[in-house]
Amino acid sequence: MSLLDKSMPFLLVLTFVLIKFKPIACQPTYNGHYCLGLSNDTANSTFGSNLASLLDSLSSEAFLNNSFYKNGSNGIFGLFLCRGDVSSNSCQGCVENATQTLPSRCPSNREAIIWYDECMLHYSDANFFGVMATYPRTFMWNVQNNTSPNDPDVDARALMYNLAANVPYTSTMYEVHEFDRGNSSQQRYGLEQCSRDINSTQCKSCLADLTEYSQQCCEGKKGWRILSPSCNIRYEDYIFYQQQAASPQPYPQQAPSPLPYQQQAPSPQPVPSSSTDKDESGEIRYFDLPTILTATNKFADTNKLGEGGFGPVYKGKLLDGKEIAVKRLSMRSSQGIEEFKNEVMLIAKLQHRNLVRLLGCCLERGEKLLVYEYLANCSLDVFLFDPVKRSKLDWTKRAHIIRGIARGLMYLHEDSRLKIIHRDLKVSNVLLDDEMNPKISDFGTARIFEGNQIEANTNKIVGTYGYMAPEYAMEGLFSVKSDVYSFGVLLLEILSGRKCSSVFNNCDHGQSLVSSAWLLWNEEKGLELVDANLIGSCPRNEALRLIHISLLCVQEDPSFRPTMSTVVLMLGSESDLPHPKSPPFSIRKSF
Distances (CA, A) of 5 to 1, 14, 147, 251, 399: 6, 15, 70, 63, 92
> Considering all CA atoms of the chain, what is the largest pairwise distance in Å, rounded to the nearest integer?
119
Q: Are 25 and 119 in contact (CB under 8 A)?
A: no
- Residue of 153, 209, 237, 424 marked active site: 424
Alpha-carbon dihedral sign for residues 463, 464, 465, 466:
negative
d(C-alpha 3, C-alpha 7), whole Å: 6
Q: Are 445 and 571 in contact (CB under 8 A)?
A: no
If we measure between CA atoms, which residue out of 227, 245, 223 comes closest to residue 235? Answer: 223
Side chain identity at residue 88, one-letter code: S
Distance, CA of 509 to CA of 471 (rounded, Å): 26
H or E, element range at 38:
strand 30-38
CA distances (Å), origin 113, targets 9, 26, 78, 578: 41, 21, 10, 58
Strands, sheet with 312-317, edge to edge from the N-terminal-most edge strand: 285-286, 358-364, 367-373, 323-328, 312-317, 304-307
Contact 375, 356 (CB under 8 A): yes
Asked if 219 and 112 touch (Cβ cutoff 8 Å), the reply is no
What is the C-alpha to C-alpha distance for residues 417 and 421, in angstroms, rounded to an integer? 13
Number of residues in the chain = 591
Active site residue 531: no
State the Cα–Cα distance between residues 147 and 378, nearest whole angstrom: 45
Rounded to the nearest 5 percent, the helix, strand and coil shares of the chain are 35, 25, 40
Closest by CA position to 444, among listed 543, 548, 365, 337: 337
**CA atoms within 13 Å, Cβ hemisphere of 451:** 12
Q: Are 262 and 146 in contact (CB under 8 A)?
A: yes
Contact 95, 80 (CB under 8 A): yes
User: CA distances (Å), 120 to each of 61, 95, 224, 559, in order?
Assistant: 14, 8, 17, 52
Bridge partner list, 432: 438
Cβ atoms of 377 and 433 closer than 8 Å: yes
The three-point CA angle 312-316-319 to 5° equals: 150
Which ranges of 152-192 would DSSP assign to H, the alpha helix?
155-166
Integer Cα distance of 178 and 251 in angstroms:
8
Q: In angstroms, what CA-CA distances link 183 with 180, 186, 187, 234? A: 6, 5, 7, 22
Are the C-beta atoms of 277 and 139 separated by less than 8 Å?
Answer: yes
Q: Give catalytic residues, as residue numbers.
A: 424
